[in-house]
Structure 1
């Protein structure tokens, strides 16, 4: 069975580039670091580090072990923190992420409900791609995210997802735009806006932007991007000024999400 000290030694060597500096980082003796590294090598059946006069570095197997080991160390620290918090405060802390648009409408209710369950939220506001990354890296315990069309978010296989609600998308148009006559938009109606200027997100990985882009590309069109921003107040301001059109979530309106 893996000893957490073996993983700590490997992580310190990867960070410091030498066994001597790793020992200083950990507050251990150099022979102690060597001992744990050798035991981990024997357990794995492969060398996880290579050494030279310039220091130490991880092998390919060592890099894989480091990736998994950092997850194990993170979960171990998390377990201690949760149990200590629960024993002292009678509640646990949940690292929770969501995107700003949802936070404005939904986060207060989520905080209230989780507090009733004895869970204290440590909330983080990020755009979609950083949230997915943080879930995959185990620096968030849970996140409220979104996807559009048939897009699947690139979560690791062990991440559990569940559908919470459907939020209809809206086309934001200047009041004088000829397309305001449409009561709803299908692909044909959306493609009629191919010559308009669009406001798109500034953070890569936004599935709403991908949906517009691929709908246009299917008909041989390209998106004319007027500006990129993740701030919906800027988006709506530009639309109101007649400078662009945009695809926006109905969370921005007064319409509640549908289950």
Structure 2
């Protein structure tokens, strides 16, 4: 059975004429949308798109599937609207907490899908930098929140009323100024090669980053600039200006507003897990529907 999210991605490319423009329309990064399309082609067992320098066009198989997909998506939208009346999703408010990276790069397509499915539910989005989102959910200030944790790190216990569901796991990668010697190779860079490198140190006092910063210190990276709050846009700007190198989530590196070089690290054990937290004992149809959309959009943790 084809994943409706991937069918919607194919329809968007057919309408936009390119993967890049479709990604902008849906709120995805271009690599994330390309990944969804590649999975759909594997499910179909044939090529659905032909990429060219001006964008992408459908193959014969792609045209056939898009025609069917439009009908399927229309039927699903109608079904969601009818089910909403039966499950209490015809009104009310869904309060979502998020941190900046997820709010920019993960939430928009899911919020769009939720709005299409449940147009009568009012949406509010609040900024809660981890771990504040967990506390906001526990206190009832928001219905659910996107948060993150880093590996390696000591586990942080959740309040007894709160559960966490992993959404996405991504590697941490090295970012450098464009043209930096360390970024000029496609092979993974051993952490030991960071010895003596000036490091933009990311909030080493915060529990979420402490384990990562310790691993970098053991590798011999030398703090050059310390950024006391986890502002990745600022970190990438400092790196781009040649003030040092940094280790950031891959999503951050690929969507940096300033030009940076990127390289994967060896071993690939430095990771960030993005999860959605919610109140476990509370019946909340809107929150449950939103979590289901997150699962459909990003799959199980580790399938990045």
Q: TM-score, normalised by structure 1?
A: 0.54
Deviation larger for 177-186 or 223-232: 177-186
SS at match of 1:160: strand
| Number of the residue aligned with 1:83 | none
Distance 2:95 2:204 in 1: 22
Distance 2:122 2:226 in 1: 38
What is the deviation of 1:241?
1.5
What is the deviation of 1:172?
0.5
Moved over 6 A (4+): none
Structure 1 segments unaligned to the other structure (5+ residues)? 1-85
| Number of the residue aligned with 1:183 | 186
What are the superposed Cα offsets for residues 74-128 of structure 1, whole Å, 9 maximum, x if unpaired?
xxxxxxxxxxxx99x9322122111101111122222222222354322112321
Q: Which has the higher strand share?
A: 2
| Number of the residue aligned with 1:74 | none
What is the deviation of 1:154?
3.3
Distance 1:98 1:203 in 2: 22
| Number of the residue aligned with 1:131 | 133
Q: CA 1:114 to 1:120, structure 2 compared with 1: closer, same or farther past 3 Å?
A: farther
Structure 2 segments unaligned to the other structure (5+ residues)? 1-86, 257-296
Distance 1:182 1:211 in 2: 26
Please point out which of 159, 162, 165 is paired with 1:162: 165
Confirm or deny that 1:226 pairs with 2:225: yes
Distance 2:96 2:140 in 1: 11
| Number of the residue aligned with 2:239 | 239
Q: CA 1:101 to 1:230, structure 2 compared with 1: closer, same or farther past 3 Å?
A: same
Contact 2:96 2:143 in 1 (8 A): yes
Q: Report the number of matched residues.
A: 169
Contact 1:132 1:154 in 2 (8 A): no
What are the superposed Cα offsets for residues 13-71 of structure 1, whole Å, 9 maximum, x if unpaired?
xxxxxxxxxxxxxxxxxxxxxxxxxxxxxxxxxxxxxxxxxxxxxxxxxxxxxxxxxxx
Distance 2:218 2:204 in 1: 23
What is the Cα-based RMSD across aligned positions, in Å?
3.3
SS at match of 1:161: strand
Q: CA 1:203 to 1:227, structure 2 compared with 1: closer, same or farther past 3 Å?
A: closer
| Number of the residue aligned with 1:114 | 114
